[in-house]
Structure 1
Amino acid sequence: MEAAVMREYGGPSVLGLEQRPDPAPRTGWATVRLQASALNWHDVLVRRGTYKSPLPHVPGADGAGVRLDTGEPVMILPSLGWGHRQAAPGPDWQILGDFTPGTYAELVSVPEECLFPRPGGYDALQAAAFPLVGVTAYRALFTRGRLTAGESVLVLGAGGGLAPAAVAMGAALGASMFVTSSSEDKIQRARTLGAVDGVLHFAPDWVEQARTASPSGEGFDVVVDAVGRWQESLACLRPGGRLVVLGASAKTEQLVDARQFYFGQYEIIGTTMGSPADFASLLAFANDYRLPPPVIERSFSLSDAAEAHAWLEAGQGFGKIVLTVDA
């Protein structure tokens, strides 16, 4: 099979198209002939060596295609070995493409519990772009964040794949969704998905702007922080509000004023991708609330994986970037 392979850690140029052995059969696993593979920021961290993936390595977490043994169109949940406890993943949990060869390839092998039917109305690109950001946003908002209709949510960073998914889900439920962004254009695009409004997060007073824009004028019920700006995020909450954190691209270590935290009665809730049970609940939610397919910003061929990574790192787009696989 052909695959985009990294033989060293580094920039986008370390990705190159190569011939690789087809996946070997494994009990409890199935092989998928991929039609599309979606990029995530997690893939960039894999490429840079953050997770010390084995080399040479095929990255890629998200994908959609056809299951070889049944011919069924499927999409892949890249959450491997979650375990029996729903509160948090077990010790064997990993993300597809970290240590197990991923979806930047014509073929990929995954546990059968991680394969789900493609939703009606989704093409291969949309199905490939749905699982990681979809289940991550769903778990952040509902499983962990306990969001209910009528509450207000601020999502930091409107341009990535996660924020559009979170905005669409929260708006579908009946929550008031707000975003931060680096551009007015991305805020406007978030409005088309159901966001009420947004603020520019490079403004020195953006926290005050956000609190003023909140429905109560005293802050949000929930803030979803996928970048690692805890101090500002906590300041955007109403008293008793919930901060859901799931990323650290801006800062990996956080300093929190303890008195501010406990007098404010805040919660800081950690979350990560999600379990097969979370994903099954997401699919039911998507059907019940007629959730629109993910926003596809741009597609590249598998042979142009390096160019796709460069585009992702430039951070100018809105929505998902997808590789098409012509097997």
Structure 2
Amino acid sequence: MKAALQREYGGPEVLRVEDVPDPEARPGWTTVRLRAAALNWHDVLVRRGQYSSPLPHVPGADGAGIDESTGEEVVVLPSLWWGSDESAPATGWEILGDHRFGTYAERVAVPVECVRPKPAGLSWAQAAALPLVGVTAYRALFSRAGLRQGESLLVLGAGGGVATMAVSLAAAVGATVFVTSSSVDKIDAARDLGAAGGVLYTDDGWPEAAREANQGRGFDVVLDSVGTWAQSLRALRPGGRLVVLGASRSEHEELAVRPYYFAQHTLLGTTMGSPADFAGLLDLLAAYAVPPPVIDSTHPLDDVVEAHRRLEAGAAFGKIILETS
């Protein structure tokens, strides 16, 4: 089969489409003949070697295609071996495409529990874009933060896949959503997904500007995928919840302890999600009018290098897709 293989760590140019062996059959697993795969920032970190993926390696966490054992149209949940404890993943948990071949290929092998029927009405590109960002946003907003109808949410970074999905899910259930971005165009695009507005994070006073946009009130929930905790806390109301799921801008943060506990804030860490979270996401999609995942662009598998360059440039709004067959 064809796959985007990397034999070393580095920039986008280390990805080369080559012939690799088909996945081997094994008990408890199935093979999905992929129609599309979606790029995630996580894939960039894999490519650079941050997760010490064994080489040669095929990256990719997200995908949709045909389950070859049943003939069903399916989406792939990239959260492997979460375990029975819903509060946190088990010791053996891993993300598809970290330590075993991922979805930048014509076929991928996954545990049977990690395939679910493709939601009706989604194209192959939209279906491939759903699993990682969908389950991550669902777990962050609902399993962890307990977001409810009528509450307010601030999503940092309007253009990313998790951010666009979070806006869509939260607005669908009746939350008031604002975003931050470096681009007015991306804020306008977030409005099309249900956001009430947004502010530019290029202004040092963006937390206060966000509060002012929200009728002068702090937010019930802030979703932070960039690692700017101290600023995010400034945007929260007393008793609000800060949900952290990334560190794209900062790996370390210093917090003033006394204001934190006097404000009764809650700091919640989260990542990916369990099969139960994925089931909850699919139920939510069936019950509410949620827009499909936003697709920025589609590329043939042979153009994987250009797709990664677009992802790293930060110009995309929504998901970048590889057409694998």
Q: Which residue of 1 aligns with 2:47?
A: 47
1:312 maps to 2:311: yes
What is the identity, as a one-letter code, of the residue corresponding to 1:318? F
Q: Which residue of 1 aligns with 2:14?
A: 14
Cα drift, residue 142 of structure 1: 0.2
Q: Give deviations 1:277-298, integer Å, cap 9, x for gaps.
A: 0000100000000222101000
Q: Give deviations 1:187-226, integer Å, cap 9, x for gaps.
A: 00000000001000001221210111124x1310000000
1:151 maps to 2:164: no
What is the identity, as a one-letter code, of the residue corresponding to 1:56? P
What is the identity, as a one-letter code, of the residue corresponding to 1:58? V
Q: Which residue of 2 aligns with 1:104?
A: 104
Q: Which residue of 2 aligns with 1:233?
A: 232
For the residue of structure 2 that corresponds to 1:309, the secondary structure is helix
1:126-141 equivalence runs, <5 A: 126-141=126-141
Q: Which residue of 1 aligns with 2:181?
A: 181
Q: Which residue of 1 aligns with 2:58?
A: 58
Q: Which residue of 2 aligns with 1:325?
A: 324
What is the identity, as a one-letter code, of the residue corresponding to 1:25? A
For the residue of structure 1 that corresponds to 2:303, the secondary structure is helix
Cα drift, residue 170 of structure 1: 0.5
The CA distance in 1 between the partners of 2:192 and 2:291, in whole Å, is: 11
For the residue of structure 2 that corresponds to 1:90, the secondary structure is coil
1:224 maps to 2:196: no
What is the identity, as a one-letter code, of the residue corresponding to 1:81? W
The CA distance in 2 between the partners of 1:26 and 1:82, in whole Å, is: 20
For the residue of structure 1 that corresponds to 2:62, the secondary structure is coil
1:26-37 equivalence runs, <5 A: 26-37=26-37
What is the identity, as a one-letter code, of the residue corresponding to 1:226? S
Query: Structure 1: any 5+ residue segments left out of the alignment?
Result: none
The CA distance in 1 between the partners of 2:204 and 2:258, in whole Å, is: 24
The CA distance in 2 between the partners of 1:210 and 1:125, in whole Å, is: 33
The CA distance in 1 between the partners of 2:86 and 2:307, in whole Å, is: 34
1:201 maps to 2:201: yes
What is the identity, as a one-letter code, of the residue corresponding to 2:293? P
1:89 maps to 2:79: no
Q: TM-score, normalised by structure 1?
A: 0.99
The CA distance in 2 between the partners of 1:66 and 1:300, in whole Å, is: 20
The CA distance in 1 between the partners of 2:210 and 2:51, in whole Å, is: 35
Identical counterparts, % of pairs: 61
Q: TM-score, normalised by structure 2?
A: 0.99
Cα drift, residue 317 of structure 1: 1.5
The CA distance in 2 between the partners of 1:223 and 1:214, in whole Å, is: 13
1:236-315 equivalence runs, <5 A: 236-315=235-314
The CA distance in 2 between the partners of 1:125 and 1:21, in whole Å, is: 25
Q: Give deviations 1:42-63, integer Å, cap 9, x for gaps.
A: 0000001010000000000000
User: 4+ residue runs of structure 1 moved beyond 3 angstroms?
Assistant: none
The CA distance in 1 between the partners of 2:230 and 2:52, in whole Å, is: 30
Q: Which residue of 2 aligns with 1:38?
A: 38
The CA distance in 2 between the partners of 1:168 and 1:242, in whole Å, is: 19
Cα drift, residue 10 of structure 1: 0.5
For the residue of structure 2 that corresponds to 1:63, the secondary structure is strand
What is the identity, as a one-letter code, of the residue corresponding to 1:176? T
Query: Structure 2: any 5+ residue segments left out of the alignment?
Result: none
Q: Give deviations 1:75-131, integer Å, cap 9, x for gaps.
A: 000000000000000001000000011000001000000000001101111000000
What is the identity, as a one-letter code, of the residue corresponding to 1:170? A
The CA distance in 1 between the partners of 2:283 and 2:289, in whole Å, is: 10
